[in-house]
Amino acid sequence: MGLEKSIQGFQQKALEELERVSSLGELEGWRVRHLGRKSPLTRALRSLASLPLEERRAAGAAANQAKAALESHFHRRAQELKEAQFRASLEKGSLDITLPGRPVVTGRLHPTTRILREICSIFQAMGFQVVEGPEVEWDYYNFEALNIPADHPARDMWATFWVDYTDERGRHPMLLRTHTSPNQIRVMEQTRPPVRVIVPGKCYRYEATDATHESMFYQVEGLAVDKGITLANLKGTLYEFARRLFGEDRQARFRCDYFPFVEPGMEMAIDCLVCRGQGCRLCGGSGWIEILGAGMVHPDVLRRVDYDPDIYSGFAFGLGVERIPMLRYGIDDIRLFYSNDLRFLRQF
């Protein structure tokens, strides 16, 4: 009977102490002292095995009853203290139900995504379809099929990330595409004219980054092939694109340039958005800003996809997407687009 009386004493002492607990922190300390692994009640339960059978039964029943009673009073006291804490916070005015809710910060589209969608919508309105292609590309599609064989000096125009791909048949040249032009070939291989597509996507160049260069950037490639397509169709399409994107009063200029997969090739420039052609720091004093490269699809490229260049002709163009918001918003560093700086992104 000694242990049974001790258990009853533990219970009485714990309940008296519980009534004096005035905070949730004190209540947790009480729980550890009287219900924890090192509490007198727990030690009493562990010592039951050493008692005679009859005394063990009585002491065990008393211990279980005491534990259940203490746990019940513990939960009751915890609820009382929580309610008292809540009432106190109301009385102090820390909870004002008339205050408006905190506004949820809404996300916005990345400036590159916004411009990309705008470009695609302009060309879609002119009858072009949007298609996509792989970012990890075969050498054939990225270079050879575009009139750039392995020994062609024009390969130096693209600093390339090469991928070492090997299977049971040996090593195969693959790369991270340097432009979206490979999709010209993929589309023409699977489609008979007429063809009118634009291809948005990421491109990769193995080069040092600075204010005007990034190793990863977005590009939009355009292609149109049909009977009777001329250079006038190319110039008219691109001029209309510039007017819809930059404003109805936009002026455009075309000058000869070289790209291996078009002949003739050209660059397109628009009058400077800042000085309106008068010359300033943004345009380098020329009054014009280049926005894309273009040209008539080379006959050899058409032959590779089994298009007869005596019957079909076409034009292609490509533009860097980040260049457009840089011109429109006066952004002077392309690295800002991928820095994840919220101070920059919140401006759009």
Q: Which of 34, 179, 298, 323 is catalytic?
A: 179
The answer to whether 224 is a known catalytic residue is no
Of the candidates 145, 220, 297, 316, the residue annotated as catalytic is 316
Query: Catalytic one among 262, 269, 294, 321?
Result: 262
User: What whole-number distance in Å separates Cα of residue 67 and Cα of residue 199?
Assistant: 73
Residue 213 annotated as catalytic: no
* Active-site pick, 158, 195, 294, 305: 158
Q: Is 316 in the active site?
A: yes
262 catalytic residue (yes or no): yes
Pick the catalytic residue from 31, 34, 177, 205.
205
Active site residue 75: no
3-state secondary structure the chain: CHHHHHHHHHHHHHHHHHHCCCCHHHHHHHHHHHHCCCCHHHHHHHCHHHCCHHHHHHHHHHHHHHHHHHHHHHHHHHHHHHHHHHHHHHHCCCCCCCCCCCCCCCCCCCHHHHHHHHHHHHHHHCCCEECCCCCEEEHHHHCHHHCCCCCCHHHHHCCCEEEEEEECCEEEEEEECCCCCHHHHHHHHHCCCCEEEEEEEEEECCCCCECCECCEEEEEEEEEEECCCCHHHHHHHHHHHHHHHHCCCCCEEEEEECCCCEEEEEEEEEECCCCCCCCCCCCCCCCEEEEEEEEEECHHHHHHCCCCCCCCEEEEEEEECCHHHHHHHCCCCHHHHHCCCHHHHCCC
Angle between helices 231-246 and 111-125 (to 10 degrees): 130
172 is catalytic: no
- Which member of 11, 186, 195, 219 is catalytic? 219
By annotation, the residues acting in catalysis are 158, 179, 205, 219, 262, 316
